[in-house]
Amino acid sequence: METEGISEQSDRTDEIVRLESVRKSYRSGTDSVLALGGVTIGCPRGSVTAIIGPSGSGKSTLLQCAAGLDRPTSGTVTLDGEELNGLDETALTRLHRDRVGFIFQTFNLLPALDVEENVTLPLTLAGRSADPSLLVDVIRRVGLAEHMRHRPFELSPGQRQRVAIARALVTRHAVIFADEPTGALDARDTDEVLGLLQETVRETGQTVVMASHDPLVASYADRVAFLSAGRIVDELNFPVDRAVIQRMTHLGVWDRPPGPERGVAG
């Protein structure tokens, strides 16, 4: 067995996201870059999973493969009961529209639309309309009730990311993937945004899988996988204590060179 997942001990039937021995290499000219070297991981329904690792460790690749935005070179991905290898583009598009939400570092808001229009955009594109009481509830929850008619340029970075979160919440998507969701935020906004995600998962049963280079982000998660050079080198289950994470940062767990078999040398 080449890899070890963070969910070996858990009940796999309750995993809404599962990657099994996922490898991904990219061609660049005649070379190929190994971005994921065989990752096995499972994310339980209704939990927050954090993928933590330095720049270039494969976090975005992992999320893209898990979300079906990119196809692994080998291995399998199961998302909300669907094995992604077996899905054609139409089925994948439908899966993304109906069951998967995304939050990005750069917010991905449309500048011409106001807060409410940005939040409901995925529903509008799918030809649906938001449940009005859910919309009000979500907008209030993210603290933007006073800003419904504001456009993104009138908001702070933290408020913009809360619009993106509201957009992922209002569709009631089963899984929300967040790639460096706090990468453009200061410490206070980071705290607010991650607290909000965590609270939402508790209340709605949605699942969040987020990636960050910042180990402190792990303290908002139920499960943490540490990624180094395309491999999971460590894992934590909860509750995760900030002090432990800080200690691990100082120990430089993800600075170790990958070993021949697994990510951890020695």
Min dist. Cβ of residue 178 to Mg ion (A): 11
Name which of ligand ADP, Mg ion, none residue 53 binds, using a CB cut-off of 5 to 8 Å depending on partner kind. Answer: ligand ADP
Q: State which of residues 1, 33, 91, 251 lies at the interface with ligand ADP (CB under 6 A).
A: 33
19 and 41 Cβ atoms separated by less than 8 Å? yes
**Is residue 60 a contact point for ligand ADP (CB under 6 A)?**
yes
CB closer to ligand ADP, 35 vs 109: 35
Name which of Mg ion, ligand ADP, none residue 46 binds, using a CB cut-off of 5 to 8 Å depending on partner kind. Answer: none
**Is residue 58 a contact point for ligand ADP (CB under 6 A)?**
yes
20 and 76 Cβ atoms separated by less than 8 Å? yes
**Is residue 59 a contact point for ligand ADP (CB under 6 A)?**
yes
Tell me how far apart the alpha carbons of residues 107 and 90 are, in angstroms, rounded to a whole number. 26
Q: State which of residues 56, 157, 183, 258 lies at the interface with ligand ADP (CB under 6 A).
A: 56
Beta bridge partners of 42: 18
Residues 34-53 that bind ligand ADP (CB under 6 A): 35, 53
Choose among 169, 183, 184, 86: nearest CA to 134.
169
138 and 170 Cβ atoms separated by less than 8 Å? yes
- Check residue 113 and report its DSSP letter: S
Choose among 162, 220, 226: nearest CA to 189.
162
Name which of Mg ion, ligand ADP, none residue 33 binds, using a CB cut-off of 5 to 8 Å depending on partner kind. Answer: ligand ADP
Q: Where are the beta strands (DSSP E) in the chain?
A: 15-28, 31-44, 48-52, 74-79, 82-83, 100-104, 175-179, 207-212, 223-228, 231-237
Min dist. Cβ of residue 124 to ligand ADP (A): 30
Q: State which of residues 12, 26, 131, 202 lies at the interface with ligand ADP (CB under 6 A).
A: 26
CB closer to ligand ADP, 138 vs 211: 211
Min dist. Cβ of residue 60 to Mg ion (A): 3
